[in-house]
Amino acid sequence: MPSITLRPNILLRFKLLNIHHMRIILIPGLGEDEFIFGKIQDNLPGEILLLSLWKLLPNKNVTSLNVVVFARELIAQFQISKTDLIIGHSTGGWVAIHIKNSVGCPIVQIASWTDGSKVIVPTANRHLIYFAAKTGLFFNDYVLRRTIKKYYRNKPSKEIFKEVFTRLMKGNSANVVNQLRLIFNPYPGELSVQPDLRIHAKKDRVVRFPSEPTHQVEGDHFSLYTYPEQVYPPILSLINSILPST
């Protein structure tokens, strides 16, 4: 099994008192960082571990990288166990389900997937996707303006989409491709688990609405940021079911 070397200094907020207590681990999506959880984070109880794909993944191409390799590296480095709760947005939710597949911890997927066909992409050829990302054929000003005009104009998510897309335009291209590899590279084994909670918006233009039971919210792919008051209550209900005294 190939492995990667996780980069240091990726811990952004970690108030851990005891490794055996439940932690809430937050994993952002493609191009995102800790800001994506900013509207719900303060409503979550307990110890928070906030991860960043930008800071975790190498700034050099790792062609062998896939979501299972990455999930296992996270499990080892952060001693993730079934006592932890993972909340993942988009790609972060995809990573979370593979962590659960290994250790059995409860997870929440927000605007995420368990079926790769739900991810909306211009081509099914992952090598073309990586090439377009590396060369700037996709993450550029023209595509940004066109996408805003078509999907995000006059929407509350316009600025957060612009922020994420700009990060993908200006960030290290090898890191961006590594993030994409988590989504598209084939991985060993099969998923045998489901999320404990799915939260999704019908108008998501990045990931199609799940076929499975889902807590529906307003907005689009960024409801986590634009409609936080609809996103965090079902998460708190799940936490209360896990830890009644919380």
Here the CATH number for the domain that contains residue 40 is 3.40.50.1820
Domain count within the chain: 1
Task: Determine, yes or no, domain membership for 18.
Answer: no
3-state SS, residue 131: helix
> Longest Cα pair distance anywhere in the chain, in angstroms?
51
The domain containing residue 148 runs over which residues? 23-242
Radius of gyration of the chain (CA): 17
Element (H, E) at 179: helix 173-184
Choose among 44, 71, 196: nearest CA to 13. 44
Task: Determine, yes or no, domain membership for 13.
Answer: no
Task: Determine, yes or no, domain membership for 7.
Answer: no
Choose among 24, 18, 31, 62: nearest CA to 181. 62
Q: What is the pLDDT of residue 246?
A: 38
Task: Determine, yes or no, domain membership for 8.
Answer: no
Strands, E, within the chain: which ranges? 23-27, 47-50, 85-89, 107-110, 197-201, 215-217
Task: Determine, yes or no, domain membership for 226.
Answer: yes
Q: What is the pLDDT of residue 243?
A: 75
Q: What is the pLDDT of residue 10?
A: 40
Residues 72 and 48 sit within 8 Å (Cβ to Cβ): no
Would you state the torsion angle of the CA atoms of residues 9, 129, 226, 162, taken in this order, to the nearest 10 degrees?
A: 90
Tokens (6 digits) for 122: 């211009």
Q: Which residue has the tokens 């377009």?
A: 132
Average pLDDT by stretches of 10, the chain with 246 residues: 48 38 93 96 94 97 97 97 97 98 98 97 96 96 97 97 98 98 97 98 98 98 98 96 66
Task: Determine, yes or no, domain membership for 16.
Answer: no
Q: What is the pLDDT of residue 7?
A: 55
Task: Determine, yes or no, domain membership for 4.
Answer: no
Task: Determine, yes or no, domain membership for 137.
Answer: yes
Q: What is the pLDDT of residue 2?
A: 46
